[in-house]
Amino acid sequence: MIKNYLTLALKVLRRKPFYTFVSLFGISFTLMILMLITSMGDAMFGANPPMTDVNKMVFLPQAERILQFYDTTYVVDSVRMDDGRMRYDSTANVREGGMNNSTGNLAFHFLDQTLRGLDRVASYTFYSNDGFVDAYLDGRKLTMSTCYTDADYWEVFDFDFLYGQPFTADAVAGADKVVVITEVVAREYFGEVTADVIGREIALGRERFTVAGIVARPYKDDDSINGDVFMPYTTIDNRKLQSDNISGPFNAVFKAEDKAHTAGIIDEIHFIAETYDMSGDEDYEILKLTAATATEKMAAEIMQEDDLRQAKLLLFIPLITLLTLFVALPLINLINLSVSRVYERRSEIAVRKAFGADSRSILYQFLFENMVLTVIGGLIGLALALLLIRYINANDLLGIVRLAFSARVFVYFLLLIAVFGLLSGLLPALRMSRTNVADALR
């Protein structure tokens, strides 16, 4: 029966070339855009290397120190006593009058003394990526972003090591001049990305480092992994490392034992901030630590909003609304085209019903025909999307972000085709399956 349905569906598509072209254009264009959106969403929020465990991660990008000011106003009440004298009472009203605040990254000393040993944390890392370093080669200046890390950094983030290996805890403790570089740096500085680069020296600023490993360039736009060169944090400027202030150039990432424990880790970090002794700070009295999941962190950065819940609402509600409208409009047009196309076949349906076909078989037939049309349009949209993805990546139109067609994206795309085909074909199919034989033949 499926073979008969398929043969009939293909004949129907050839019967009305114009309707078929318009339908295929709408389907393929819509699914192409949805494919690009899905690929971009997976690149930005998906669990991809070097952040495969992103759903287990809690980020601590900054701290805020606050000094609250209060205004005091007095209200004077007068009461006449029994002896004729006046009595005056004053009431003090205290209210918030403003505040002084300072927001920034954290000092290593603060992280080291305060945020080790959190419950339900499988691994964690303290790192600094707020600087750049210049390298000179054959009269050329190469400016590279730096990331100073501990050895646990390579446990939290699963970088793809093309050659070599990460530096060890002993190398960090000894402040060894070793470095992990990306494939981009290896190609620009050494002219090759091969095992021969391992063990060679690279001049970074006034220092020379030995290459310990080469990693694939992270194609995710997240400042926690976007360094060009990765060095032991003990090789950073000692003034940045020894500061006993709260603020400094470091950030932290905590990877939970399980995704369900991230909320508990965030609550524990907030509790540490609330109970932290600020008596040693003359300028501030309150400490707030911004602990967030990857999605909350990204939403806060994009929307420039400190309230994480508000940032997610501001980001995702408009996105979901626009995406719904984008899908709904071509879907409605496709439904109208499908209704017009099948309406001309009322007499055919009436004849089939007169010869014993039931409404269920008619419904299945038209749903199958619409699914065939959607699959063909989806394949065209897929081909167009792949070409567009290659063009976007080749020309760096999204900066460091790279779109990819992974197995997960392919599954999402199949689901989109199925949903789009069912939604656009169900109403016309139901309408035709309920065709009255006498009215249709008349």
Q: What is the 3-state secondary structure (H, E, C) of 308-363?
A: HHHHHHHHHHHHHHHHHHHHHHHHHHHHHHHHHHHHCCHHHHHHHHHCCCCHHHHH
Separation CA 203–CA 185 (nearest Å): 12
Confidence at 442, pLDDT banded by 50, 70, 90 = low
Domain residue ranges in the chain: 2-49+314-441, 108-242
Confidence at 208, pLDDT banded by 50, 70, 90 = very high
Classify residue 275 by its DSSP letter: T
Separation CA 442–CA 439 (nearest Å): 5
Confidence at 109, pLDDT banded by 50, 70, 90 = very high
> What pLDDT, on the 0 to 100 scale, is given for residue 356?
66
Cis peptide before 232 (omega within 30 of 0): no
Mean pLDDT of 367-373: 81
Q: Which of 23-27, 85-89, 383-387 has the lowest mean pLDDT?
A: 85-89
Q: Which of 49-58, 91-100, 306-315, 355-364 has the lowest mean pLDDT?
A: 91-100
Mean pLDDT of 161-170: 97
> What pLDDT, on the 0 to 100 scale, is given for residue 371?
83
> What pLDDT, on the 0 to 100 scale, is given for residue 233?
96
Radius of gyration of the chain, Cα coordinates, nearest whole angstrom:
32
Query: Is residue 10 pLDDT above 80, yes or no?
Result: no
pTM (2 decimals)? Answer: 0.80
Confidence at 197, pLDDT banded by 50, 70, 90 = very high
Mean pLDDT of 253-275: 95
> What pLDDT, on the 0 to 100 scale, is given for residue 91?
66
Length reported for the chain: 442
Q: Which of 18-22, 198-202, 273-277, 370-374 has the lowest mean pLDDT?
A: 18-22
Is residue 417 within 8 Å of 28, Cβ to Cβ?
Answer: no
Sign of the CA dihedral running 349, 353, 355, 356: positive
> What pLDDT, on the 0 to 100 scale, is given for residue 169?
96
Instruction: Give which of 431, 422, 435 is closest to 373, Cα–Cα.
Output: 422
Mean pLDDT of 304-316: 85
Q: What is the mean pLDDT of the chain?
A: 84
Query: Is residue 438 pLDDT above 60, yes or no?
Result: no
